Structure 1
Amino acid sequence: MKFLIKLLKVIAVLLILIVVGTWLYSKTYHPNYKGELEINNLSDEVTIYFDEIGVPHINAKNQKDAYIALGYVHAQDRLWQMELIRRIAPGRLSEIFGKDLLETDVFFAGLGIEEASEKSIAKLDTSSEAYLMSMAYLEGVNQYLNEGKMPLEFDLVGIKKEKYTLKDIYNVFGYMSFSFAVAHKTDPLLTEIKEKLGTPYFNELMSAFDKNLTINKTEIQPIKAEMSKAVSKIMDNLPVSAFIGSNSWVIAPEKTKNGKVLFANDPHIGFAQPSVWYQNHIKTPDYEIYGYNIALMPFPLLGHNRDYAYGLTMLANDDLNFYIEENNPDNANQYKTVDGFKDYEIRTKTIKIKDKKDTTFQVKVSKHGPIMNGLNRNISDDRPIAMNWMYTYLENEMLNVAHGISHAKSLENFRASVAKIHAPGLNVMYGDAKDNIAWFAAAKLYQLRDSVSSKTYLDGASGKDEILEILPFEENPQAINPSRNYVYSANHQPDSVRGKLYPGYYQPEDRSKRIVELLEAKNDFTKEDVAKMIYDVKSSNVSQIANDLLAIVNDSDFSVSQKKAVSILKNWDGTYSKTAVGATIYNRFLYEFLVNTFKDELGDGFELFINSQLQDQVLPNQISRENSIWWDNINSKNKTETRAEIVTTSFKNAFSFLENQLGANVEDWLWKRVISIEHEHAIGKAGGVLRKFFNVGPFETIGGNEVINNQIFKLDSTGVYKITAGPSTRRVIDFSDIENSLSILPTGQSGRVFSPYYKDQAQKFVDGEFVKMSLNKDEIKRSKNKLIFKKR
């Protein structure tokens, strides 16, 4: 008995030692939020207050010191994220993760982002403020890299320290730009439909693009007081977030209760841990900005101060085209042009692979861009397919753009910086304390000959399909202080350019239509109204789509339960609440309808199609077609299916599936039972203990595809909807009460798993709550965490 007691005591002591040891160990991986540190190259002392959600409020005597401090604190919270994102464009993920990411590395390394970065850096004005402040930021990042405690992930994966450079920053610009591009998924699919299925199939799909539109109108008033499936797989498997969509609206004083501008923005980006944006507040005698920075970005792409606010959504213009080149039959290293055969540029690339031998490959580059056949092993086309991408085609001024929009002194000054954006195309939103509101479709738009479609492969040899002109920014769709007293963007079709709608991969009108409905409903908006609106989960279109489908259903032989399901769906108003049964029925019904309509023809391209903007655009138009080439099931013999048969069969299949999945009681088919959100860490994706340790969630939530609170998921055969993307932040800025503006992140401010700010906002985010973006000096100084940087 005594021995047992002694053994238990020993075990208890060991457990205590393990707990204490683990706690002490975790502290070594904890970012430094208080105390004093000596830093190189400061001209004066910098004081940083970390508020209750871990946002650094940087107080410096000059901007150079402020950016050194920003680089340091950004790195101590997000170095792992910085390391991952800088490795994407040059193809260096296999170096740390192994051969599973080789396909991704080969693809990105061949796109030409690195080469474009080198050209842009060579042309930089090294005396410009943008350059000097970027170098100061990198100085701070590298000082932390050299002297700070590396994240736990560095030890787990075995990453060696490597200095961060300006090229890393430009490579991040390149990755961000590519993740916005939609044509790399959709153009090959549309080309395949046209070439393999035939023009009638293609034309029916394309006819939907000028229907069901809520168009962003151009209006300028005086300024007040001044490779389809494979590429989809590559993007899905990236260990960092991809950029997808977004909402934003800015309300003029005439429509607000307090008579000042209200600004809202929630960019939609793939969910991951850590969150995309790093919040920070810089204050110097001549400058102030409360910004949201991407990893390795010195200047915020979202921001505000007491004078103005700005934000972004994806424009979704077509800035990427594929050209079919024609090789010289006598020399495969040459291609045909109107001036005769020209030599391909040959680029040799080497990919390092963890625990494996390096692999080397070559990329052929025509005047249109890299030949994609060797970069995407799933391209079976024998013809050389070159990718012509506006990002690498034109000069990159994004560093100056980011600096300019975050340092603007007026709306005119801000607009001048926005005009330099070439790719990705962005809707840039603006509001200020002088009562101005604005929206700019910012991109280098171009013109092809009228008869050619940029949505399928172009002819690279004839010279007939070349870009004829880059349009001046003044012709881009835009609005300044429009008469409707608001501007808005939800990635939908912008106004006409030169008399016709500019081609792109715009989202359907669902979110934009809902935003307009809510904005038109009243003229006394408050900050609280906007905060409620940004969390809205009612679709303007799906209830009508559901009823259009149900009107076609033949329910003469339906059971009582089936008719109950019909009744519930018919009366569903399109709100994606946790207890909505209609949402569950609709999404399964939609999946079965798409399967029975399109899968027989599309085959392997089906999964890509049903989760694309193309399907969203086509759906209402397809339902309205009583006669369509797509209704016939090409796999059935001696029978031509009708629309009514397809829709009725789809509903029956949906009902049977849901009955097996969720039980016989239709009223128990609650939306919360099939949808969830989990923020995956690159290491947490491995599952097991690592998932629980690094991932954040899962959570029950509200929302769905294409509502304002956009919770993006893929339709598939499982009937389980795992949200993959959504608002990367929600911001509400009130110029009548600027010190109490609101925001929220999906998880937390820090990417360090032992930080108290790793996931402290996660539950608030799914519940639609907000935290304050502090600007008040006295409030900030009351923060319990104060870090002082002293000159070394």
Structure 2
Amino acid sequence: MGQVFRWLLRIAAGLVGLVVLAVGLIYFLANQSLPDYDQTETVTGLTAPVEIIRDNADVPHIFGRDDPDVFFGLGYAHAQDRLWQMTTMRRTVQGRLSEVFGQRTLRIDRLLRRLDLYRLAQTSFEAQDEYTKAALRAYAAGVNARLAEINDEALGRGAPEMFLFNAPVAPWQPADSIALLKLVALQLSGHLENEVLRARTALMLDDTDRLKDILPDAPGTGVAALPEYAQLFPGLPRYAAGTPMPDDPLSPFPKHDMAGASNAWAAAPSRSASGGTLLANDPHLGFTAPSTWYLARIELQSGGVIGATIPGIPAIMSGRSRQMGWGITSSYLDDQDVFIEKLNPDNPEEYLTPQGYKPFESRPSIIQIKDAPPITLTLRWTENGPVLPGSHYHLDAVTPPGHVAALSWTALDGQDTTMTAAMGIMHATTVQQAIDAGEKFIAPSQNLMLIDSDTIAMKTVGAMPRRDPRHQSQGRLPSQGWRAENRWEGRLPYAANPEFVSPRGGILGNTNNKILERPFPNHVSFLWGDTQRVNRWQRLMQARQVHTRESFIEAQLDTVSFTARSLLPLIGADLWFTGEAAPEGTPQRQRQIALQLLAEWNGEMNEHMPEPLIYAAWLRALQKRLIEDELGPLADEFKHVDPVFIERVYRNIDGAAVWCDVRQSAPKETCTDMARLALDDALVWIGEKYGTSLESLRWGDAHQATHDHPVLGEVPVLRFFVNIRQSTSGGDNTLERGLTSGEDPDPFLNVHGAGYRGVYDLADPDSSVFIISTGQSGHFLSRHYDDLAQLWRRGEYIPMSLDVNLARAAAVGVTHLIPQGWKD
């Protein structure tokens, strides 16, 4: 027996030793790919030496003899820190994820191939001006210099993920950066899915007048009545489930209510305590680890530029120079239309146009799949755009038999000069020069917030489709592609894009709110990203005669919900302080405690408080009760509470209170009944998930920011190293926006918000501050993988100066790139 025990002990010790050895080997191999920031490297593609100084936050400050050399240095720095992220994004836009991830990503690849964004990026390279072409070539050479270094010196394939997903990395091409810009446009686009959802909802509702309740317009002047979708395409079933988009962390396709958001505001010298202009910007995207954003400073011949880049794209997207500051917000310009194309019943390779049947433009495309045979797609285009499969965006639910769906979208432009526009904005020294540069911006459409020494402005950039005033659905529903009045007629002139320069009040801002009222077809959009945050922003801006950098930071980090303050008195009007105290432990007692807490709450969505969780759960349960009998299974598509819908119902605007009555029940329920029942639902859910002690709840326990690695984030053990989870304040409708997932079992996870924040003060430019939500490095063994994450969570920032001496003073390393054969 003792001998058996000894042998078992030896085997166990051997297994432990093997595990330790394996972990040590993995660590060693992964550690090899950590970049050395303090080195001298000989490279090809430079005309003169480049110096990259990494400050103590790992922000590169890049210096070279001319601009192409500086862009070379930026490409090298991006590849040092974010190679896996860059190559994965490139594979995504190319429709080549399945070569690495197999069947898991096949549906993603299918749609990206049909959109053909990568080929359009390749043809767009020649449309750039000569400066931009040179910058793109130099940037690509910088990326490739890092790839050559990795290969020559066996630096662990450049990233830990490369060991797990072994696939060759092709050299970076100049067009790759343009392709990534188009991928960003895809991530920010929501009109396609909104059109389909509107059509599906219209089919489901008995009373189509109720469509304006559940999918309301932003407050303001109404629009003309639209045709019923069932009249446009008779014979469609009342409800068809349709096929949703791939639910995968690698998917670039946003859900209709997560298609980009942002905040930006500016103050003129007359409203600034320092006497200079101020600008604050925080673009919102889905959270990921590492962040979408990467901080950098590049020293161009025209001067230093500093701010936020996207790895793979050689431009400061939001930042400042010595003379200017700029920020971006999603404009929500309606730059997508879905067209239902009628097939020729005698020849399905033809579709109907205003001139008769025409053949599709077709070509094959082969998708290679890891561990599976390749498949061949037939890509088809109509005059309106690429044909999309019914297996995406629920298109099969709104496409009649004998028809297919096609997409018109401004990003489907083979002469896209957006990259040239981005370069021009970086080089501008005045607001007017930046506005002029924005004319070449095609997609994604953005509101460009601008300041120079004495001027503030906001200009919507991006191509605006020209629609016929007779358009059947005004671009709000999928429309008949064979009717001439539905088709785009080119673009509106750049002068038609909204523009605000030097307003009398001295303050400009955008929270994705509706910015103007124009009649169709000059309307810009019927879909806007915010009806709530703008109210809180207006209050904060008007509360001070003059603003400072600190007051702009305070507004960025504000967590008071205008929505909670406005809706709670409505939905609880007949519930507050009614009746005697109920016995302890009863549902009625829980309801009274909840109402007492909410009655004394100021609407602050603070992570340490219980009220935000009670409020959010109540509103979610309420919307579900209001819509599930009318919409049935389609109700699951409305994952976020629409405050305008709730307000319409509880104010009974145009008879919207009808939503409170459950049609399938004999009694006639009132809106008070619905509010009470929904609160009870919410308290039961909270009790099961977080406990019944309401006073002890913490909003931050439910509202954790999910900076998850899109590939390794679900791998056991590894996920504890690669995912960054944080308790956070804010919510769907606060200025410090933390959009919740809406998905069970954790509907309040914070999944979408400000991955970057910047505040620029041109009275003292070097006092400007910046932060991203994770860290600069994409390598999870680097201390810079998450070193900025806690600062971001606490609402802190880092200074980023154009003073090179400050960068050198606390540098974590200085990299010297020397051209091959260089002689000083």
> Which residue of 2 is the match for residue 413 of structure 1?
433
> Which residue of 2 is the match for residue 151 of structure 1?
159
Superposed displacement of residue 34, structure 1: 0.5
| 1:357 partnered with 2:378 | no
Change (3 A) 1:602 1:76: same
| 1:524 partnered with 2:540 | no
Match of 2:691 among 658, 663, 666: 663
> Which residue of 2 is the match for residue 163 of structure 1?
171
| 1:268 partnered with 2:268 | no
Change (3 A) 1:199 1:330: farther
Matched residue type, 1:682: P
Change (3 A) 1:14 1:163: closer
> Which residue of 2 is the match for residue 224 of structure 1?
none
Q: CA separation in 2, counterparts of 1:202 and 1:146?
A: 61
Query: Can you list the C-alpha shifts for 1:174-223, whole angstroms capped at 9, x where unaligned?
Result: 2111111111221111111223324525543378314279xxxxxxxxxx
Query: Can you list the C-alpha shifts for 1:537-575, whole angstroms capped at 9, x where unaligned?
Result: 111222211221111559668723311211222332211
Q: CA separation in 1, counterparts of 2:757 and 2:187?
A: 21
Q: Which moved more, 1:197-206 or 1:153-162?
A: 197-206
| 1:744 partnered with 2:771 | yes
**SS of residue matched to 1:684:** coil
**SS of residue matched to 1:391:** coil
Query: Can you list the C-alpha shifts for 1:442-478, whole angstroms capped at 9, x where unaligned?
Result: 2222333256331111111222212246222222222
Change (3 A) 1:744 1:177: same
> Which residue of 1 is the match for residue 679 of structure 2?
651
Say whether the 8 Å CA contact 1:190–1:202 is kept in structure 2.
no
Q: CA separation in 1, counterparts of 2:692 and 2:785?
A: 41
Q: Please give the residue correspondences for 1:470-481 in structure 2 after superposition, counting only pairs within 5 Å.
A: 470-481=491-502
> Which residue of 2 is the match for residue 281 of structure 1?
297
Q: CA separation in 1, counterparts of 2:74 and 2:420?
A: 18
> Which residue of 2 is the match for residue 295 of structure 1?
311
Say whether the 8 Å CA contact 1:183–1:321 is kept in structure 2.
yes
| 1:344 partnered with 2:365 | no
**Length-normalised TM-score, structure 2:** 0.88
Matched residue type, 2:38: K
Q: Please give the residue correspondences for 1:531-570 in structure 2 after superposition, counting only pairs within 5 Å.
A: 531-553=553-575, 559-570=588-599
Q: CA separation in 1, counterparts of 2:22 and 2:414?
A: 58
Superposed displacement of residue 389, structure 1: 1.2
Q: CA separation in 2, counterparts of 1:486 and 1:357?
A: 59
Q: CA separation in 2, counterparts of 1:762 and 1:651?
A: 35
Q: CA separation in 2, counterparts of 1:533 and 1:27?
A: 41
Say whether the 8 Å CA contact 1:48–1:57 is kept in structure 2.
yes
Superposed displacement of residue 426, structure 1: 0.5
| 1:688 partnered with 2:690 | no
Say whether the 8 Å CA contact 2:196–2:393 is kept in structure 1.
no
| 1:399 partnered with 2:419 | yes
Q: CA separation in 1, counterparts of 2:29 and 2:63?
A: 31
Superposed displacement of residue 248, structure 1: 0.7
Change (3 A) 1:11 1:680: closer
Q: CA separation in 1, counterparts of 2:218 and 2:14?
A: 76
Q: CA separation in 2, counterparts of 1:45 and 1:464?
A: 58
Match of 2:460 among 416, 441, 446: 441
Say whether the 8 Å CA contact 2:308–2:756 is kept in structure 1.
no
Matched residue type, 2:645: V
Say whether the 8 Å CA contact 1:748–1:757 is kept in structure 2.
yes
**Length-normalised TM-score, structure 1:** 0.91
> Which residue of 2 is the match for residue 74 of structure 1?
78
Match of 1:61 among 61, 65, 80: 65
Q: CA separation in 2, counterparts of 1:422 and 1:44?
A: 34
> Which residue of 1 is the match for residue 237 of structure 2?
none
| 1:605 partnered with 2:634 | yes
Query: Can you list the C-alpha shifts for 1:103-159, whole angstroms capped at 9, x where unaligned?
Result: 11112211232342233234445xx10001110000011111122232111111112
Change (3 A) 1:483 1:659: same
Matched residue type, 2:798: V
| 1:247 partnered with 2:250 | no
Change (3 A) 1:736 1:787: same
Match of 1:306 among 322, 328, 336: 322
**SS of residue matched to 2:177:** helix
Q: CA separation in 1, counterparts of 2:498 and 2:789?
A: 37
Unaligned runs of 5+ in 1: 214-226
Q: CA separation in 2, counterparts of 1:11 and 1:455?
A: 63
Superposed displacement of residue 780, structure 1: 1.7
Q: Please give the residue correspondences for 1:719-758 in structure 2 after superposition, counting only pairs within 5 Å.
A: 720-758=747-785
**SS of residue matched to 2:779:** coil
Superposed displacement of residue 498, structure 1: 5.5
**SS of residue matched to 2:314:** coil
Unaligned runs of 5+ in 2: 1-5, 222-239
Matched residue type, 1:749: Q
Q: CA RMSD in A?
A: 3.0
Query: Can you list the C-alpha shifts for 1:238-282, whole angstroms capped at 9, x where unaligned?
Result: 289986211011111111111111111000011101111121111
> Which residue of 1 is the match for residue 273 of structure 2?
257
> Which residue of 2 is the match for residue 779 of structure 1?
806
Superposed displacement of residue 427, structure 1: 0.7
Matched residue type, 2:275: G
Matched residue type, 2:419: L
Superposed displacement of residue 375, structure 1: 5.3
Match of 2:450 among 423, 430, 452: 430
Match of 1:574 among 594, 599, 603: 603
Matched residue type, 1:568: L
Change (3 A) 1:344 1:66: same
Say whether the 8 Å CA contact 2:245–2:393 is kept in structure 1.
no
Change (3 A) 1:627 1:167: closer
Change (3 A) 1:553 1:347: farther
Change (3 A) 1:209 1:654: same
**SS of residue matched to 1:447:** coil
Superposed displacement of residue 496, structure 1: 2.6
Matched residue type, 1:670: R
Superposed displacement of residue 26, structure 1: 4.8
Matched residue type, 1:132: A
Q: CA separation in 2, counterparts of 1:729 and 1:264?
A: 11
Say whether the 8 Å CA contact 2:187–2:253 is kept in structure 1.
no
Matched residue type, 2:485: K
Q: Which moved more, 1:446-455 or 1:82-91?
A: 446-455
Q: CA separation in 2, counterparts of 1:352 and 1:144?
A: 27
> Which residue of 1 is the match for residue 406 of structure 2?
386
> Which residue of 2 is the match for residue 238 of structure 1?
251
Superposed displacement of residue 422, structure 1: 2.4
Aligned residues: 770
Q: CA separation in 2, counterparts of 1:567 and 1:260?
A: 46
Superposed displacement of residue 337, structure 1: 1.5
Q: Which moved more, 1:743-752 or 1:291-300?
A: 291-300
Change (3 A) 1:682 1:199: same
Change (3 A) 1:441 1:377: closer
Say whether the 8 Å CA contact 2:340–2:406 is kept in structure 1.
yes
> Which residue of 1 is the match for residue 504 of structure 2?
483
Say whether the 8 Å CA contact 1:229–1:608 is kept in structure 2.
no
Q: Please give the residue correspondences for 1:5-154 in structure 2 after superposition, counting only pairs within 5 Å.
A: 25-125=29-129, 128-148=130-150, 149=155, 150-154=158-162
Q: CA separation in 2, counterparts of 1:318 and 1:187?
A: 11
Superposed displacement of residue 718, structure 1: 3.2
